[in-house]
Amino acid sequence: MKDSRLTSVAAGLSLTALGLAFFLPILGRLPLIRGEAMYALIPAEMLARGDWLTPYLNGARYLDKPPLWYWLTMAGYQIFGVSEFSARLTTLAVALGEALGTFLIGRTLFSLRVGWLAGLMLITSIGFFTLHCQLFTDHLITLTLTWGLYFLLRWQAAPRFRYVLGFFTCLAAGLLSKGLVGPALTLAVGGLYMLVRRDWGLLRFFLHPGGLAVGAALALPWFVVMTLRHPGFFEFHILNEQILRFMGKRYPPDIVSFPIVGFWLFVVIWLMPWAAFLPAALAAFWPRGRSWVAAGERGKVLVLLWAGVVLGFFSLSSLRLEYYSLPAFPAMALILGWRFDLYLSRERDRAMRVSLVLLAILLGALLGAPALLERLAADNRREFLTIFSTLEPIVQQAQFILPGLGLATAVLGWRGSPRLCLAGLTVTTGALLWFTFQCLMLLNASLSDRLFAEYLAKHAAAGEPVIMESLEEFEYGSSLGFYSGHRVLIVQREGAPAFGFALRPEENYLISPGRLRELWEGPQRVYVLADDVKPLEDYLRGGQTVLAADGKRLLSNRTGP
């Protein structure tokens, strides 16, 4: 037992070391883009105000999401200072936690090797790598779901209060991460698992009085305090932002949802290179007949329900984005890890050989994806218009290398041992992640406003208006605000963007086109950041372009330095 425990610890540490090797070197190399910078700016403002309860964005209360992500980032800021590097430390810690939780579930349900392979495949999938280079509260949903299910499995094996405590702490953390969807996914997977397995003893776990008390004590105080401090908070935060959002009736209307075909296309892309092996893995993993309730199949049942609940929930939702499949990644990694463990135990495995050929085909098809992804993404967010054309140099480099590596790996799989094939897959995966990171470098540079913000930090005096033209969502001003240190005014056209929560007049930073013109023609120096995809007003065209890059230009109404 002692050797087994030491082996398990060593395997977990090696997986953690791999995660650090993947993510730590890139923490400070990617600028914060418009879509993620709010998760860095909000905790910076909260820390500056000394207010750990009420989130603020650009000087206004931001009550859309619970505060756990902000609290974790604020802790990092206090230790390392406010920077994009320290903002991304939260994502790094959560990524390692997700990989470790996946490993522990795989070890508990199947074997040490299955758990380790699943953790490795999770870390090295395009989606996990790409999305964990960005700030999203969805990472905490994935983390709390993974660890919540782990504690459920541990309690099932040995009913102890510490596992109850861990489970309800995960539910509370999920609620404080992104609202009701956090605990709802965990409870849905656990509840369906109980029903399918007919394990009514789990009711004692889900309804444990001590666990319920701990979960309520951890999660409810923030909601109670915010309801008392900010009238209208409860209706806005619970009804508007969660229930009506799911139904597609949120105010203001949300961004355009991804079509279901696009959502599932991204599932395949996110799982690359391992997506090529998923059909063979599912075919072997799927329980047969009465085995759904057999004692030895409980692991397969739980993992399949996990993936099915997450993907089914967001497929049915009226709002789905390309990264909403993230909480299903650990489950699919476990299915893949189980199948590769089986493959390594065989000399001949025709299904996996066919999967290797499919991998070579998908790697070739992946190189044509940028144009398709641009059309899908631009329908959802205008900032993606023409952005994928910047990836052309990377695509040209990869168009022979990746399919060639995939073909070589397929040859190794047909003619060599499974371990030799795995070595080929390691090289192919490394190259795929390298090209992925190169794409991220180009995309983030284009989608971030850091270059313009750094100019403003040097040249814009305090009190000089900094304005952004025609944003779809007011949160997209956060990248400019984070790096410049200036409060950003945003022009509202045809009712967009709009606040869902009633703000005090001094908090409102949305201005009308008429107010923009007044400021521009007034005595003060004014800076306006505009996107080239939107034509400028006639009076703005006479302004001085002080900086232009990546389809954006920074204008000033005063010439000279």
Task: Report DSSP letters for 404-431, one per residue.
Answer: HHHHHHHHHHHHS-HHHHHHHHHHHHHH
pLDDT at 76: 95
Count of alpha carbons within 13 angstroms of residue 121, beta-carbon side: 32
Among residues 178, 143, 162, which one has the least CA distance to residue 69?
178
Q: How does strand 60-61 pair with strand 466-468?
A: unpaired
Residue 297 CA: distances (Å) to CA of 193, 196, 253, 280, 301:
12, 11, 44, 18, 6
User: What phi and psi, each to the nearest 5 degrees, are found at residue 104?
Assistant: -65, -40
Q: Burial, 230: exposed, middle or buried (Cβ in 10 Å; 0-12, 13-18, 19+)? A: middle
pLDDT at 375: 61
Rounded Cα–Cα distance for residues 259 and 380 (Å): 10
pLDDT at 480: 96
Rounded Cα–Cα distance for residues 174 and 185 (Å): 9
- Contact (Cβ atoms closer than 8 angstroms) between residue 531 and residue 469: yes
Start-to-end CA span in the chain (Å): 72
- Contact (Cβ atoms closer than 8 angstroms) between residue 155 and residue 205: yes
Using alpha carbons only, give the angle 164, 165, 168 rounded to the nearest 5 degrees: 85
Quote the longest CA-to-CA distance of the chain: 79
Radius of gyration from C-alpha coordinates of the chain? 25
What does the chain come to in residues? 561
Q: How does strand 544-549 pair with strand 510-511?
A: unpaired
pTM tops 0.85, yes or no = yes
* Torsion sign across C-alpha atoms 374, 406, 272, 263: positive
- Contact (Cβ atoms closer than 8 angstroms) between residue 322 and residue 262: yes
Token representation of residue 550: 């990546």
DSSP state of 33: B
Cβ count within 10 A of residue 309: 24
Count of alpha carbons within 13 angstroms of residue 192, beta-carbon side: 16
Long-range contacts of 341-350 (CB under 8 A, 24+ apart): 341/110, 341/111, 341/113, 341/114, 341/117, 342/284, 343/418, 344/113, 344/418, 344/419, 344/422, 346/418, 347/417, 347/418, 349/418
Long-range contacts of 291-295 (CB under 8 A, 24+ apart): 292/196, 293/196, 293/197, 293/198
User: What phi and psi, each to the nearest 5 degrees, are found at residue 173?
Assistant: -65, -35
**What pairs with residue 468 in β-bridges?**
490, 529
Average pLDDT per run of 10 along the chain, which is 561 residues long?
74 94 87 93 96 96 95 96 94 96 96 96 95 92 98 95 97 95 96 91 95 96 95 90 80 75 89 94 84 71 96 87 92 96 84 90 75 59 60 79 88 81 90 90 89 95 92 91 96 90 93 95 94 86 90 86 57
